[in-house]
């Protein structure tokens, strides 16, 4: 296991904009507060969602789209640099009206309402291709 | 997107009381430590749960009740002021014996066991009616 | 409700090792940074998972094993001492290719990729048998 101690430079509460993209809003916040690395957790609701599942054998993402209103019951992830750009690696648990839960890597989703807690780190996190998993990982 | 930097005044670990209400326990902790704003994450189990889903068209909450023991696999939310009272906006992911996950806004649930991490903010968060979503949002 | 204020001694970002056990990796990190207490959140994916559900009547855990690749959509928990050993009480929400979510207490799971944020506390947390729930709880 690789780990590093990190130093927090600021803590932020954000309200994601109705109609914007869930993941892009997080990247916009990171850019606005000049953070190239950070950790976040969030909750809210979306009007739709594109969820990715990583195929561990084929080593590629597969996508499922839910074109329906969903609660965001939990959302967790981190901000790092990927190919020089800010990237919010974002996983989420969503739910339907009857309580059924859906989950995975959320690539996109239209914000209905979103509340986010973000910790910005001084310590840089840069993703690079990992040979074993063929994922872009930091450390 | 609206955001603000926040200042943490204290961090707390709490064990929620068996038989008490999950959300009220969080509000009680906030009151006890004099926090009108904060962020939390939690895990545990409940004896039952009332889950809300916000109808984005009708602009009202719909309720589903699960009258059965459930694990609390993840719980995330924040404390703010709503009409002058402390309010813990609380989302949760629950699960059944076979691993099936249920999720949403948890309005109520009888604690079986609960472990909570809470950060109290000096920065106030006050909810007001948002015209677009007809939700009470801060910022 | 029992609660205590805690003091953070360090914050860490870790990348869990592919092929290792998800929960043991967290305990290894805690040991490496000399933390007998802490709080974490995480995301990633596993190759399989053993999920526990606590039977609130029979007062014992029941186990379900999923022998398939799963995303870790959310993971939350804490580190404490149990019978003198470091123990990571770990809950997680997992998901299948079609987005279906599974969740509960994760006892074991083979890491495919994992990203963890950990706060180490100076304040000790020691689990002891609770008579009401027959669980090992701190405070």
Nearest CA-CA partner of B79 in B22, B127, B37, B31: B37
Nearest CA-CA partner of B40 in B118, B134, B92: B118
φ/ψ bin of A125: left (φ > 0), alpha (ψ from -120 to 50), beta (otherwise)? beta
The mean predicted confidence, pLDDT, of chain A is: 97
What residues of A are in contact with residue B35 (Cβ under 8 Å)?
Answer: none
The chain B residue lying nearest A74, using CA atoms, is B76
What residues of C are in contact with residue A132 (Cβ under 8 Å)?
Answer: 18
What residues of B are in contact with residue A45 (Cβ under 8 Å)?
Answer: 54, 56
Burial call C55-81: b when 16+ CB within 10 Å, e when fewer: ebeeeeeeebebeebbbbbbbbbbbbb
- pLDDT tops 90 at residue B139: no
| ipTM of this predicted structure | 0.97
A98, B64: Cβ pair inside 8 Å? yes
Size of interface B-C (CB pairs under 8 A): 129
Look at the pTM and tell me if it is higher than 0.95: yes
pLDDT of residue C45: 98
Q: Tokens at residue C102, please?
A: 């599974």
- pLDDT tops 90 at residue A1: no
Shortest distance between the Cα of A60 and any Cα of chain C, in A, equals: 12
Given pLDDT bands bounded at 50, 70 and 90, which one contains residue A67? very high
- The chains in contact with chain C, meaning 3 or more Cβ pairs closer than 8 Å, are A, B
Look at the block and give the residue holding tokens 């809950």: C91
Tell me whether A25 touches chain B (CB under 8 Å): yes
Size of interface A-B (CB pairs under 8 A): 129
What residues of B are in contact with residue C77 (Cβ under 8 Å)?
Answer: 43
pLDDT of residue C64: 98
What HEC string does chain C produce?
A: CEEEEECEEEEEEEEECCCCEHHHHHHHHHHHCCCCCEEEEEEEEEEEEEEEEEECCCCEEEEEEECCCEEEEEEEEEEEEECCEEEEEEEEEEECCCCEEEEEEEEEEEEEEEEEEEEEECCCCEEEECCCCCCEECC
Percent of chain A residues past pLDDT 90, beyond the cut: 99
Question: How much is the average pLDDT of A23-38?
Answer: 98
- pLDDT tops 90 at residue A139: no
- pLDDT tops 90 at residue A126: yes
Residues whose CB is less than 8 angstroms from the CB of residue C80 and which lie 6 or more positions away in sequence, other chains included? C36, C37, C86, C87, C89, C125, C126, C127, C138
pLDDT of residue B17: 98
CA atoms within 13 A on the CB side of B57: 3
Nearest CA-CA partner of B31 in C139, A74, A13, C3: C3
Shortest distance between the Cα of C49 and any Cα of chain B, in A, equals: 11
Q: How far apart are CA C5 and CA A47, in angstroms?
A: 39
Question: How much is the average pLDDT of B52-68?
Answer: 98
pLDDT of residue C134: 97
- φ, ψ of residue B20 to 5 degrees: the values are -80, 175
**Identity of the residue in A33, A113, A118 whose CB atom sits nearest the CB atom of B137:** A113
Shortest distance between the Cα of C105 and any Cα of chain A, in A, equals: 16
Tell me whether B51 touches chain C (CB under 8 Å): no
Q: How far apart are CA A53 and CA C97, in angstroms?
A: 5
pLDDT in tens, B95-113: 999 999 999 999 999 999 9
Determine contact, residues A5/C10, Cβ cutoff 8 Å. Answer: yes
Q: How far apart are CA A67 and CA A22, in angstroms?
A: 15
The chain C residue lying nearest A131, using CA atoms, is C18
The chain C residue lying nearest A7, using CA atoms, is C11
Q: How far apart are CA A7 and CA A130, in angstroms?
A: 25
pLDDT in tens, B20-37: 999 999 999 999 999 999
Alpha helix (H) ranges present in chain A? 22-32
Low-confidence ranges of chain C (pLDDT < 70): none
Between positions 67 and 106 of A, the ones with CB within 8 A of C are: 74-78, 89, 91-93, 101-105
Could you say which DSSP state residue B21 is in?
B
pLDDT of residue B55: 98
Shortest distance between the Cα of B17 and any Cα of chain A, in A, equals: 23
Handedness of CA A28, A33, A38, A43 (dihedral sign): negative
Nearest CA-CA partner of B71 in C70, A104, C61, C109: C61
């Amino acid at each position: 296991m690789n780990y590093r101690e990190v130093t927090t430079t600021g803590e932020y509460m954000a309200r994601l904009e109705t109609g914007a993209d869930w993941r892009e809003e997080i990247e916009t916040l990171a850019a606005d507060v000049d953070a190239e690395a950070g950790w976040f957790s969030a909750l809210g609701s979306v009007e739709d969602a594109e969820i990715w599942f990583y195929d561990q054998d084929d080593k590629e993402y597969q996508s499922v789209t839910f074109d329906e209103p969903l609660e965001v019951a939990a959302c967790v992830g981190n901000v790092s640099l990927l190919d020089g750009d800010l990237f919010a690696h974002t996983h989420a648990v969503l739910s339907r009206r009857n309580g059924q839960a859906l989950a995975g890597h959320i690539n996109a989703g239209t914000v209905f309402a979103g509340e986010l807690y973000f910790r910005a780190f001084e310590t840089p996190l840069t993703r690079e291709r990992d040979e074993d998993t063929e994922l872009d990982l930091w450390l």
